[in-house]
Structure 1
């Protein structure tokens, strides 16, 4: 397995380097601005390397296990849709509604994967919602150097340890390897960004891993307590994205437009550096993964209470970050959208 993971890492790294050259030739650059957190023009679209690695990983899984052929074909089609619309958006901005429509089709395909993997209707519905949420959250949260790919790497590592079946464990390890291939060009200072092609793909593959883990573990793995465990590693992104979106909606802002109102963006703006924030969010994900590993064999009631307390604590921390760093960054509490 190590050799195959090294191959995926190499594919990701090589394709990311190629994508950087392509972006520079085509002038596909993200320029600094009031709704950006970087200060120099930077190529985008490097996430195509991760996408290509994941296509190879899906093909390898289907080749190794005939029972996974249909599931991987459906998942690869969904990934192609998400990455494809992101690739187009990186070249020519599209409306958010056209992107959401494509994401919905891809999410439906993931729901079919859940059914084919042995899940019930509840898991299929969960798969649809999870894909829609994670695809868009990873896009929202991809705003400073390294944060989205590193967060996906940590979450994938946690899922590899939590997984009860070979398919979900392989996909989690494959995603971790692909992220490792991309990160050298995104840390400590980004020489290329994921772009929409990469950020949406990360969210979709993470949703796939969660669904495979839930379906592959039998009825117990499809319970609300199991879903709670699987939602602990990405809790930093889920809390920041959900509460920031809710706050913008309550303020009557155009919530679908770019902004710099996330807690991580305000924190990075106040510090004048990205890396402390990127690694703080990664540490939060590591802690969430360790919590999931530590409580997974405990009674259901304890798991639900511990998970709820973790998210409540995350919400309180988000409020503190927004209050403290919102003032220090010089950003107003109300964004114009």
Structure 2
């Protein structure tokens, strides 16, 4: 039986990757910062069967535990990423843990003789800090960290850069692939889900007074998990980056239209008007939650998954179905 380490198994993408691996017959070891969450994670994954699931405590900010976590594993899915409960005072509060944590995982994987690491990067490492453009972003693009970008995008970019530098240098012999999802939607397994889902939740409960004017790609979390598994096993994936997105980008007004069409009366609180850009930009200067979106306002960050489709045969499900299932799942939760 093949052994796979999944870092951050209690997180949204990590839990779906773990579920996909268990369903496909892999033996999975997953890292969590607190072993107290094991019961909750097992409950989330119960329909995938958890007999072949093991938990170890390891923190991206600490060396302890990583060598033991990687020992005996054939592959590593490095999904974990540092999170902050408030806007950092300094970019390094998010950047340093992301970079150092990635290097801890890679060093442990290399020392354990792991064949390949698949790292969960993000569209944030590709599409930010550029002038407006009419063509979709591809894996050839990198975010400009010298531009005025949010700490999260900077951390994802520098962590991925550090990973590629590591395998080209001291980690030579270790294979690396990265998966760069756009905004991730899909059913929730528990209360820990992505910020993209929070935007859907705010539309549904009426706490979003108006729609923001920006467009980005969206992708189903289950398709993100399937791309991780393809990137882990397919020979053609070694040394490659893969954008995960379903079709072209969507404006928030497009998301709202799908919610109203699919949910009917249950989408009664979904806003129908767009916030004027001048108002949104003004709020972004004083509201931390809006501030994180300031570089998106008025922009269309379209991207393409043509590479993953061509090299790996990956295919994303229709995003309209994902939006509806996301909403149904949030309402049930």
**Do they fold alike, i.e. is TM over 0.5?**
no
Q: Which has the higher strand share?
A: 2
Q: Which has the higher contact order (CA 8 A, sep 6+)?
A: 1
TM-score, normalization by structure 2 = 0.29
TM-score, normalization by structure 1 = 0.29
